[in-house]
Structure 1
Amino acid sequence: MHLAQINIGRLIAPLDTPALADFVAGLDPINALAEGSPGFVWRLKDETNNATGYHPFADDQIIVNMSVWESLDALRAFAFQSDHMDYLKRRREWFAKFATAYMALWWIPEGHVPTIAEAKERLQSLDEHGDTPFAFTFRKPFPSPTAA
């Protein structure tokens, strides 16, 4: 089994404004860091090599990031123990607070590529039920189920 993740954020301004210049400038280096990290499997990307062109929510200021990892430990190491952490610390400069779930983790069979619709369902599940084996967070992770 592999671990899928989605995180979303509502930008404080359009991507092409000075307020988000540092965020935009960091996209390629952070994505390259992810792709070079141990345990990385896949990430959602569009023709610009990031996922900012996807607008799966009614609010076009909401952007989405999705990736797949070999394990929770691999994702955790990238997210919190690499240079990504410096980028993450600046999120309040670029994103508005979210009243609903903005990040979800879930286990998928190896080789499965999660869809945005699938990921949105996981976010909704977190809002409605909290952490469960279907969708969970770093705060309350669930172990990988045995592959059938």
Structure 2
Amino acid sequence: MTAQPPGTHLAQLNIGRLLAPTDDPRVAEFMAALDLVNGIGKRSPGFVWMMEGSGEPGTGNTEAKIGGDPQSVSNLTVWEDVGSLEHFVYNTVHKRFYDRRASWFELMARPHFVMWFVPEGHRPPLGEALERLAHLEAHGPTDHAFGWSHLKQAQLWKTRACTPIAAE
């Protein structure tokens, strides 16, 4: 377990593969909620930065296709601290969509969520985030790349997380 080093912020990457293309009715409810959920995140205490897409309403960052896959989506954000991210994930409307992720996303057999500390002011590119995710998959949780259980100050994930649907 690790504590947040002074002078750092917490970065996180969450990736997924939609069950259908972004314009398909099967994922319409998820797509329609992106602006709402992202807007709440951006207004949340401790929010620092979010990787943006085209800026078109209802698209979030769905243009960043991992490996060219048109159904891949990613969310890359930076937060002041663990508590700020944890509050957004588990104590806002985000939790309703998190609980229903199996309605819109394929089950992933590989890790799809990673966190790491970045120097204050750093905005990690997607390539850096994907490298962290690959490191987590190859080496398990380390100070270089980790999940909630690696953070001694993270608590909400223990009681508020829903049943895992993918390897974490």
Shift, 1:60, TM fit: 2.6
Within-5 A mapping of 1:66-145: 66-141=76-151
8 Å CA contact 1:8, 1:63 repeated in 2: yes
Shift, 1:48, TM fit: 2.5
User: Does 1:57 pair with 2:64?
Assistant: no
Shift, 1:62, TM fit: 1.4
8 Å CA contact 2:18, 2:73 repeated in 1: yes
User: Does 1:40 pair with 2:75?
Assistant: no
Please, what TM-score do these two structures have when normalized by structure 2? 0.82
Equivalent position SS for 1:57: helix
Within-5 A mapping of 1:8-47: 8-47=15-54
Give the distance between the partners of 1:58 and 1:99, measured in 2 at CA: 19
Shift, 1:58, TM fit: 4.1
Give the distance between the partners of 1:62 and 1:139, measured in 2 at CA: 26
Give the distance between the partners of 2:105 and 2:148, measured in 1 at CA: 20
Ranges in structure 2 where 5+ consecutive residues have no aligned partner: 1-7, 154-168
Ranges in structure 1 where 5+ consecutive residues have no aligned partner: 144-148
Equivalent position SS for 2:16: strand
Q: Please give the root-mean-square deviation of Cα atoms over the aligned residues, in Å.
A: 1.3
Shift, 1:24, TM fit: 0.7
Percent identity, please.
40
Please, what TM-score do these two structures have when normalized by structure 1? 0.92
Equivalent position SS for 1:27: helix
Letter of the 2:53 partner, please give it.
D
- Equivalent residue pairs, number: 143
Give the distance between the partners of 1:134 and 1:113, measured in 2 at CA: 16
